[in-house]
């Protein structure tokens, strides 16, 4: 049973946060292990499993990035160990960013670090805007019309993962005392 089914809500990149929270609290009360101490061991284990499932469901459904990953996995768009090929134009743009990062390895330049942070932030903002648009479209579409959107969402997901690694590298230069 997936988390959306468990919470009795439709699969969505943008579920209603209040509904998710209410369902979490209701199920937390319903499946609280303390209410089942006089039950059989099997029943206690079942309740413990349901309580654990409720906690995991809430952690995923209430966190945007975890939910994005979960929905993509749910629809089979992400596969473990997948070697996703990012588009050439994106890789070329990132090559320039990586070249600046390599230069910073040898010549620390705070101004370049700040410029690079701004450039990456602008790319991320653009991707976030596009991702929000696509995920909202996905939520409004019928199931048969969602496949093309999933592929576009997956592409942005991997671009954002790549940018996260870039941002982590930039942050090493932004805090030289930690090196």
Q: What is the pLDDT of residues 43-83, one digit of tens each?
A: 999 999 999 999 999 999 999 999 999 999 999 999 888 89
The span from the CA of 67 to the CA of 157, in Å, is 12
93 to 79, 100, 109: CA distances (angstroms): 26, 11, 21
Answer whether residue 173 shows pLDDT above 80: no
pTM of the model: 0.86
Q: 57 with 28: CB under 8 angstroms?
A: no
Task: Look at residues 177, 179, 167 and name the one whose alpha carbon lies nearest to residue 113.
Answer: 167
Cα angle value 169/118/121 (rounded, 5°)? 75
Answer whether residue 30 shows pLDDT above 80: yes
**Predicted local distance difference test score (pLDDT) of residue 32:** 95
**Predicted local distance difference test score (pLDDT) of residue 179:** 43
Q: Could you write out the DSSP letters of every residue in 33-89?
A: GGGGTTS-HHHHHHHHHHHHHHHHHHHHHTSHHHHHHHHHHHTT---TT------HH
Domains within the chain, CATH numbers bracketed = 3-74 (1.10.287.110), 88-178 (1.20.1280)
Answer whether residue 176 shows pLDDT above 60: no
The pLDDT tens digits for 101-159 are 888 888 888 888 899 999 999 999 999 999 999 999 999 998 888 989 999 999 999 99
**Predicted local distance difference test score (pLDDT) of residue 178:** 45
**Predicted local distance difference test score (pLDDT) of residue 81:** 84
pLDDT class of 174 with cuts at 50, 70, 90: low
6 Cα distance to chain centroid? 20
Phi-psi group of 83: left, alpha or beta (phi > 0 → left; psi -120 to 50 → alpha; rest → beta): beta
Give 102-105's long-range contacts (Cβ < 8 A, gap of 24+): 104/173
Q: Can you tell me which residue has the tokens 């019928």?
A: 142
The span from the CA of 59 to the CA of 24, in Å, is 10
């Amino acid at each position: 049973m997936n988390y959306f089914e468990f919470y009795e809500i439709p699969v969505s990149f943008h579920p209603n946060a209040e509904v998710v929270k209410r369902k979490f609290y209701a199920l937390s009360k319903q499946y609280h292990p303390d209410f089942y101490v006089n039950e059989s061991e099997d029943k206690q284990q079942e309740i413990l499993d349901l309580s654990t499932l409720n906690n995991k469901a809430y952690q995923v459904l209430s966190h945007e990035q975890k939910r994005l990953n979960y929905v993509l996995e749910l629809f089979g768009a992400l596969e473990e160990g997948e070697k996703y090929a990012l588009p050439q134009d994106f890789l070329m743009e990132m090559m320039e960013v990586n070249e600046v990062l390599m230069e910073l390895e040898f010549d620390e330049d705070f101004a370049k670090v700040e410029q690079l942070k701004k450039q990456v932030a602008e790319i991320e903002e653009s991707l976030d805007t596009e991702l929000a648009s696509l995920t909202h479209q996905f939520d409004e579409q019928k199931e048969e019309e969602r496949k093309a959107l999933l592929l576009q969402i997956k592409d942005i997901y991997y671009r954002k993962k790549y940018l996260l690694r870039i941002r982590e590298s930039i942050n090493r230069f932004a805090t030289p005392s930690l090196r």
